[in-house]
């Protein structure tokens, strides 16, 4: 009897313990994070991109025909004018052929004059006279061909510029594949650089850019003269050419240049810290807190600097974006903003 009563008490004791261990329902979890209030700011931003100086015009000089060089009329590093004779290839055989045609032409023209006189008195037929005229014209055409071949034995400067270094000497045998020298128009230079795809629409014809070179503290100016008609796929950038405004002895073709590209001013730019942006496979997103609830918003980025990035769409002035707790805060969850980071 006592054993049964003890067992009953044990059962009652166990039941009371289970009831005491039942957990109480908890309220929604509240995340705590730091935020940033979006406010309009004055944005006056330039981007710096690398580039190089290039000659306004540049060409590799090659002969049109093969042959032996009989004269070189330029010096390395000298400046030559457009049309200047640079070198001469042996053309003695062509000159002899031309002289032969001159003799034949003189004889043919005399014969044509006699045929013309005989034609008037019926001494020759019209057909015989026409054939003689054709002979004269054929010789003249052959002479033009030889004259063209002779002109190809002379290499002339296609434009005014500076001759580079050459290893060519008199007596050398050259062919159209032989590089004689490089001719560059250095009286005017141009900048060759690329800008990210995002800023490609800023590169209008006539846009002024400033640049500097190694070893000089001077700032030089150039104006955009042309842009490529396609964005390069390998680096998503646009190639730009700008003409240097004033020549300077400090500027040498091929030199490295640091170019500052102005992007203009925006008095109402919406800038947020770069750490607030969440990269996605397709979009860029930020977490916005409204009424204590987290919302995920897709945004479009603009100009970026070392600490902040411009938002061109997806946010408005007064929005609060999270800058911490981005990985733990889920859309729709409650958020308590501990600290507001100032501009």
Write the pLDDT tens digit of every residue in 160-169. Answer: 999 999 989 9
Q: Give pLDDT, residue 338.
A: 83
pLDDT tens track for 186-237: 888 999 999 888 778 888 899 899 999 988 889 999 999 999 988 888 878 8
Domains 63-89+153-179 and 91-152 share a fold: no
Q: Give pLDDT, residue 248.
A: 84
Q: Give pLDDT, residue 269.
A: 85
Closest CA relative to residue 74, chosen from 152, 151, 161: 161
| Spatial contact of 170 and 72, defined as CB atoms under 8 Å apart | yes
Q: What is the CATH number of domain 48-57+186-264?
A: 2.40.30.170
Phi, psi for residue 101 in degrees, rounded to 5: -65, -35
Instruction: Write out the DSSP string of 213-235.
Output: ETT----EEEEEEEE-SS-BTTT
Pick the residue with more confidence: 64 or 7?
Answer: 64
What average pLDDT does the segment 125-135 reach?
Answer: 95
Domain boundaries, the chain: 30-43+267-341, 48-57+186-264, 63-89+153-179, 91-152
| Spatial contact of 195 and 203, defined as CB atoms under 8 Å apart | yes
How many helices and strands in the chain, by DSSP H and E?
A: 3, 19
What average pLDDT does the segment 289-302 reach?
Answer: 90
| Spatial contact of 286 and 315, defined as CB atoms under 8 Å apart | yes
Q: Give pLDDT, residue 149.
A: 96
> Could you confirm whether domain 63-89+153-179 is CATH 2.40.50.100?
yes
Residue 259 has pLDDT above 80, yes or no: yes
Query: What kind of fold does domain 30-43+267-341 have according to CATH?
Result: 2.40.420
Q: Give pLDDT, residue 310.
A: 86
- Spatial distance between the Cα atoms of 320 and 326, rounded to a whole number of angstroms: 13
Residue 11 has pLDDT above 50, yes or no: no
What average pLDDT does the segment 273-277 reach?
Answer: 91
pTM higher than the cut 0.75? no
Q: Which CATH architecture has domain 91-152?
A: Orthogonal Bundle (1.10)
What confidence category does residue 73 fall into, taking pLDDT thresholds of 50, 70 and 90? very high
What confidence category does residue 61 fall into, taking pLDDT thresholds of 50, 70 and 90? very high
Residue 13 has pLDDT above 50, yes or no: no
Q: Give pLDDT, residue 24.
A: 52
């Amino acid at each position: 009897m006592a054993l049964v009563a003890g067992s009953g008490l044990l059962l009652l004791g166990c039941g009371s313990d289970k009831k005491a261990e039942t957990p109480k329902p908890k309220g929604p979890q509240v995340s705590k994070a730091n935020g940033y209030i979006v406010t309009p700011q004055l944005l006056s931003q330039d981007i710096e991109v690398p580039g190089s100086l290039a000659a306004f015009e540049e060409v590799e000089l090659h002969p049109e025909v093969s042959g032996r060089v009989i004269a070189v009329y330029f010096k390395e590093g000298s400046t030559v004018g457009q049309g200047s004779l640079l070198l001469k290839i042996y053309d003695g055989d062509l000159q002899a052929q031309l002289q032969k045609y001159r003799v034949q032409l003189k004889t043919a023209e005399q014969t044509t004059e006699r045929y013309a006189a005989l034609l008037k008195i019926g001494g020759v037929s019209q057909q015989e006279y026409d054939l003689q005229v054709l002979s004269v014209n054929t010789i003249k055409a052959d002479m033009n061909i030889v004259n063209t071949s002779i002109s190809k034995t002379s290499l002339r400067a296609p434009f005014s510029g500076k001759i580079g270094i050459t290893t060519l000497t008199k007596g050398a045998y050259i062919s159209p594949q032989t590089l004689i020298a490089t001719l560059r128009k250095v009286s005017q230079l141009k900048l060759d650089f690329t800008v990210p795809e995002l800023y490609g629409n800023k590169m209008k014809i006539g846009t002024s850019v400033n640049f500097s070179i190694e070893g000089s503290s001077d700032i030089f100016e150039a104006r955009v003269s042309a842009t490529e008609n396609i964005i390069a796929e390998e680096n998503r950038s646009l190639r730009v050419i700008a003409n240097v405004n004033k020549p300077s002895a400090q500027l040498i073709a091929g030199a490295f240049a640091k170019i500052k590209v102005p992007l203009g001013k925006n008095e109402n730019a919406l800038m947020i810290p770069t750490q607030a942006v969440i990269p996605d496979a397709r979009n860029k997103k930020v977490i916005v807190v409204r009424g204590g609830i987290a919302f995920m918003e897709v945004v479009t980025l603009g100009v970026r600097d070392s600490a902040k990035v411009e938002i061109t769409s997806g946010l408005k002035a007064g929005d609060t974006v999270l800058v911490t707790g981005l990985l733990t805060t889920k859309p729709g969850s409650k958020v308590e903003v501990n600290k507001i980071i100032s501009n």
